[in-house]
Chains A and B, each alone.
Chain A
């Protein structure tokens, strides 16, 4: 019973640790020991696995959002500068 309690406590600690570092994990910016800790937790936590997968997808989709453009923005700025 004590062992199960300790395991649960460790799981929750790793859960919070991993959740706070998923961006750094995706971008490979964690020190090796932290990277390993997140990886191990994600391996046994279905919720973190789903958040990680959908976070990766969110980043891909954000990067594919098109930049809105409007013709003549630079010319309008230059006109205003010349009149100022």
Chain B
């Protein structure tokens, strides 16, 4: 398999076939990431296409100081955020308030299978989706996609300390949203 660096180098020289190989490697991953920022699958596909087209048009400016996919993710997430700003807000934005709910149950040991149940997974997906985009991105990149802190911070254009601070607040906000979910579930 040709290395990513080689494919990028050839793409920079105008070799479209090499760029198409990069598309085959990263399109599905980019689609999964941007889907968490836009309204639906159709829009996620449009954003994915737009991101690759922009990357192709400006690949001669990609200097290789970062990895190709972190550069690509940055283009894709910026495009997704730009579109999201044009749309009226749907639902409540989850609070970045960190204070836990005192009387929430300790749900840390509910069976793992609960996550596969539609209601809890939906609560988790909803909590992620309603984070403000600048907090959602670190969480999606680091915790859902599994990027390293360094790569995810690079996608966001942040230093590692600033990135980690934002990530921690996002995690606490999602955790708190699950507190609310379990308080409601207990009450119903």
Contacts and interface: CB of A to CB of B under 8 A. Distances in A.
A12 interface: no
Contact of A76 (B49, B108, B164): B49
Contact of B168 (A22, A47, A57, A81): A22
A23 B27 CA distance: 30
Using C-beta atoms within 8 Å of the partner chain, give the interface range for chain A.
20 to 34
Using C-beta atoms within 8 Å of the partner chain, give the interface range for chain B.
35 or more
B interface secondary structure, majority:
helix
Contacts of A64: 115
Contact of A73 (B28, B164, B174, B175): B28
Contact of B23 (A50, A69, A70, A77): A77
Interface of A: 19-20, 22-24, 47, 50-51, 53-65, 67-70, 73-74, 76-78, 80-82, 84
Interface of B: 16, 19-20, 23-24, 27-29, 31-32, 35, 41, 44-45, 48-49, 52-53, 56, 98, 100, 102, 104, 106-109, 112, 115, 120-121, 124-125, 128, 139, 143-146, 164, 167-168, 171-172, 174-175, 178-179
